[in-house]
A and B are shown apart, each in its own frame.
Chain A
Amino acid sequence: GGIITQTPKFLIGQEGQKLTLKCQQNFNHDTMYWYRQDSGKGLRLIYYSITENDLQKGDLSEGYDASREKKSSFSLTVTSAQKNEMAVFLCASSRTAETLYFGSGTRLTVL
């Protein structure tokens, strides 16, 4: 078995701040994903990466940057946090875009 670790679990930021979320996986999966989940809503894809140093934009990439410097890690940066923003950011990995394995999420609050 493997595990996906997201850090931090809770992130509180100020308006306009640049914030970075990290994700590590030990499944040795090629593909990794970042999704945003708003309260009571489904998941929207921000970025995904099919291999080391690859980046693909999802439906919600504006306002975010991503980095995949190693196969096992995928980081997401909120380039300028929006006031009163609250969401959960979920990282996932998969072998071939079939079954996704998710982390527990990072809960973002912007004051």
Chain B
Amino acid sequence: TQTVSQSDAHVTVFEGDSVELRCNYSYGGSIYLSWYIQHHGRGLQFLLKYYSGNPVVQGVNGFEAEFSKSDSSFHLRKASVHWSDSAVYFCAVRGNNRIFFGDGTQLVVKP
């Protein structure tokens, strides 16, 4: 059974702060993890993915994520957030030709 857990439903930071959005997964097969962003009223957009190699992967707009097999985690980070980063972020794991999503973390960036 594949599961994805995003422990924080809401995160609020100020512009210029760093942020880490947490994701833990459980899956017994080969790993394929990804993050998506959803701005209000829109569909989801792909941010980045990991399936092998360097555990730190870079995405668009300064986002990066780090895979940890020992922690079963794939946390998303950004060093300096902008107000336009306010959105809902979804972590996802692939399994059996399907993709399972977490419940999402709403990020609010205050000016």
Interface residues of B in 77-111 (CB under 8 A from A): 90, 94, 97-104
Q: Does B73 contact A (CB under 8 A)?
A: no
- Asked whether, in the complex, the Cβ of A101 is within 8 Å of the Cβ of B42, the reply is no
The size class of the interface chain B forms with chain A is 20 to 34
Q: Does A34 contact B (CB under 8 A)?
A: no
Interface residue total, chain A, C-beta cutoff 8 A: 24
- Asked whether, in the complex, the Cβ of B43 is within 8 Å of the Cβ of A99, the reply is no
Q: Does A97 contact B (CB under 8 A)?
A: yes
Minimum CB distance partner of B43 in chain A: A102
B14-22, B44-52, B64-72 - the one binding chain A: B44-52
A13-21, A37-45, A69-77 - the one binding chain B: A37-45
Interface residues of A in 92-111 (CB under 8 A from B): 92, 94, 97-105
